[in-house]
Structure 1
């Protein structure tokens, strides 16, 4: 079984909230009005979403600082290091997710495929100790192609030494994760905790809104198939 990282194994939205709090403390001090703070957070998330998946995060903070002038403005040439050094530490992993992964890995190989910066993704994985649970971890910047390119999924199949029909991929992004794995003839389980409506032509093999439901796709006979 292969997993996406951000917004699947790890809650990226919560991590963005934590990073925003760090920026607020460092650059703005005490913002007393809750409505102003909430407006700033929503705008920060908007800028972050536009640059989601890109290594360069300077534009995110530059745009945010332009709209909400801070007491202390990070110099442009310090922004990337600030983001790389702080953001990975904003992530945590739910113990229930760990328990489910441990149950699954008793029966099948487990892997991660993630898009993003090698430095940041490795830091997230190390800081949450996910590296100790997975057989292989593939990061797009490291290998030279990213989801939905079928080559990144085929690379995982080769490294795991498995056939696509014996693999399930779990991810939150319909286009990159589900469409991408289907391009490599892998069944895709759409992780959709917020119950977002699927308005695309991509039809997942299955849809779940909690990790607990992954276990229902494994029976003793399925375990023998996926070994």
Structure 2
């Protein structure tokens, strides 16, 4: 039986629910900048906010996200343009929480194998998310693209994780939600990719994950191949 020695994870929308965090940040913006907004308008605003956020996903400066929202839905109290980035950096990481199932899973594997995070994004924000959710207590290495100068799907960022953990690709699994960045990326480095797909999105690509899961509970079945004997 194959004995895996390490498991690597994506951060946003894998370990942490980024969609829910975006909802929470929107509520904060609503509370801070708007008054007496009807439910219908609020729902329209949220959808637009998500669209603007998605358009800037992976880009460090988020000023345009709120500027676009303010332009379309003029607020009573508009945040100054030169303050928006600080507002986002200070508040967005606090909008994240970690699922108890994820904590249980990490507790069950971290004493037996090496675990790491590979995430694309801003060093400041990604670090804050990890610390605010105490994820730093569970991982042997955490690699953030801005910090290391390359990002998924570049195989170098995966190879860096392998080097830091001192493991071989054939002894490693990578878990992530993005087929192109996570799964194809880790496969470029000869690591088996487990596609985290809780919303059961259809795979319309030619990318073939090693496995597909809808929750971390499902991931335990693949841990049957992990050697838990020290």
Mapped to 1, the partners of 2:36 and 2:211 lie a distance apart of 45
Q: Deviations over 1:159-184 (max 9, x none)?
A: 00000000000000001000100000
Could you say which residue in structure 1 is the equivalent of 2:62?
57
1:215 pairs with 2:220: yes
- Given candidates 178, 198, 205, the residue that maps to 2:203 is 198
Shift of 1:105: 1.3
Distance 1:213 1:79 in 2: 39
The structural deviation recorded for 1:222 is 3.1
Residue 46 of structure 1 corresponds to 51
Shift of 1:224: 6.0
Q: Distance in 1 between matches of 2:124 and 2:208?
A: 33
Q: Unaligned stretches of 5+ in structure 1?
A: none
Picking from 50, 72, 75, the partner of 2:77 is 72
Q: State how far apart, in whole Å, the 2-side matches of 1:223 and 1:142 are.
A: 32
Q: How does 1:154-173 map to 2 (within 5 A)?
A: 154-173=159-178
Larger relative contact order (C-alpha < 8 A, sep ≥ 6)? Answer: 2
> How do residues 86-105 of structure 1 correspond to structure 2 at under 5 angstroms?
86-105=91-110
TM-score (normalised: structure 1): 0.96
Partner Cα distance (1:20, 1:114) in 2: 23
1:108 Cα deviation after fit: 0.8
List alignment gaps of at least 5 residues for structure 2: 1-6
Alpha-carbon shift at residue 30 of structure 1 (Å): 3.0
Q: Which residue of 2 aligns with 1:37?
A: 42
Give the superposition deviation at 1:104.
1.3
Deviation at 1:96, TM superposition (A): 1.4
Which residue does 1:12 correspond to in 2? Answer: 18
SS in 1 for 2:195: strand
2:122 paired residue among 105, 117, 131: 117
In 1, the alpha carbon distance for the partners of 2:8 and 2:103 equals: 14
CA distance in 1, matches of 2:223, 2:129: 28
Tell me the secondary structure at the aligned position of residue 110 of structure 1: strand
Q: Tell me which residue corresponds to 2:154.
A: 149
